[in-house]
Amino acid sequence: MASRAKATILDIAREAGVSKSTVSLVLQGSGLIRPETAVKVRKAIEDVGYVYNRGAANLRKAHSNVIGMVINDLTNPFFAELAVGMERVFQSAGIVPFIANTAENPVRQEEVLKSLMEQGVAGLIVSPARGTTPGAFRRLETAGVPVVFAMRRLPDSRIPVIAPDNHRGAYLAAAHLIGKGHRRLAFFGGTSDLVVYQERLGGFREACETLGIARRDVLIVEGETSRRGGIACLETALAMAEPPTAALCFNDAVAFGVMLALRKRGLEPGADFAVVGFDDVVEAEHYMPALTSVSVDTAGLGERAAHVMLKMIQSRTTRAEDHIGAVNLVVRDSCGPDRRARPAGMGDAA
């Protein structure tokens, strides 16, 4: 059934008694072939255990059918959700996306990008690693490979971005906290080299300012965007002379870390210290207490990114419009009112 060496279309041609061109046409589902011939060829294909060599085909064809997804942290369930959304739309387009993980490492990212390019990808959806240098995507650009950024963006690049409305999300979250009576607020996690960070922090700051929180009452603690980072942030904050009573976290992972650290100190998240996350990963709903978080419709953004990509490939362009997804605050149980404020019977302006 299977021959020693790899079978090629010539082997099939011989087996079926037709020319290689005919086999090629059948492979491409061309309507030019007489149905009976096609059947004969397909049988031969089956018989010799043929596997199509896409590399050889791409040598002649303009476009490959490979799309790469380059993700900065696969262990964050958030990105897995994003990937799932993308896969949904690529699947229906007959494309198998290849996922590669950069583990938040720009050097690794460089390798991944290089490898994907060499493979002849038709397009790339990327959530760039922290500390990506501005030139990292120049090669892609000059090669004319369509790229879209998902969730994260680079300081000043012309590459289209699909991301949630970070500013508004953070504003909503901070306003919620302030509405609950909190007057000393913190922003936990993330680092300023991330544009997303700037955006989220910006929304947070704007809320504080317009809703009358004094500048000296807001605390910013940078940190890793992981559970561990969250733990560290809380430690830092509680070591202050006048610690905050509530925090907006850069993302849910950080929020989980903060809740963990609170528990370890015998404090109850929600009651003793309010915490809000960002991204609303599925775990958020299931945590104890359930985490209030900014929902960004992750899978939807993934789908959107995939659609944009498909359109770019189709129209052979490397440009597209940005897309900012709507967000909304999902209120759960992780932020009670400010304990200290209550007994004083403070009224709130807004």
Partner DNA sequence: TTGATTTATTGGAACGTTCCATTTATAGAG
Partner DNA sequence: CTCTATAAATGGAACGTTCCAATAAATCAA
Q: Which residues bind its own copies (CB under 8 A)?
A: 1-2, 6, 49, 51-56, 58-59, 64, 66, 74-75, 77, 80-81, 83-84, 87, 91, 96-101, 103, 108, 111-112, 115-120, 139, 142-143, 227, 256, 260, 263, 283, 286-288
Pick from DNA, its own copies, none: which does 33 bind, CB < 5 to 8 A by kind?
A: DNA
Cα gap 148→134, rounded to integer Å: 15
Question: Cβ 44 to DNA, closest distance in Å?
Answer: 12
Cα gap 65→85, rounded to integer Å: 19
C-alpha dist (Å) from residue 304 to 89, 118, 141, 149, 179: 9, 26, 21, 11, 33
- The token pair at 14 is 């011989």
Pick from DNA, its own copies, none: which does 74 bind, CB < 5 to 8 A by kind?
A: its own copies
| 45 counts as binding DNA under rule CB under 7 A | no
Cα gap 261→330, rounded to integer Å: 23
Hey, what amino acid is at 13?
A: A
Question: Cβ 13 to DNA, closest distance in Å?
Answer: 7
Pick from DNA, its own copies, none: which does 107 bind, CB < 5 to 8 A by kind?
A: none
Question: Cβ 50 to its own copies, closest distance in Å?
Answer: 10
Pick from its own copies, DNA, none: which does 192 bind, CB < 5 to 8 A by kind?
A: none
DSSP state of 291: P
Size of the site for DNA (CB under 7 A): 27
Report helix, strand or coil for 228.
helix
Q: What is the CA radius of gyration of the chain?
A: 26
| 159 counts as binding DNA under rule CB under 7 A | no
Cα gap 302→194, rounded to integer Å: 20
* Single residue of 56, 96, 107, 240 touching DNA by CB under 7 A: 56
Cα gap 324→163, rounded to integer Å: 5
Opening angle at CA 18, ends 17 and 22, nearest 5? 155
Q: Which stretches of the chain bind DNA, using CB under 7 A? A: 5-6, 8-10, 18-22, 24-25, 27-28, 32-34, 37, 50, 52-53, 56-57, 59-62
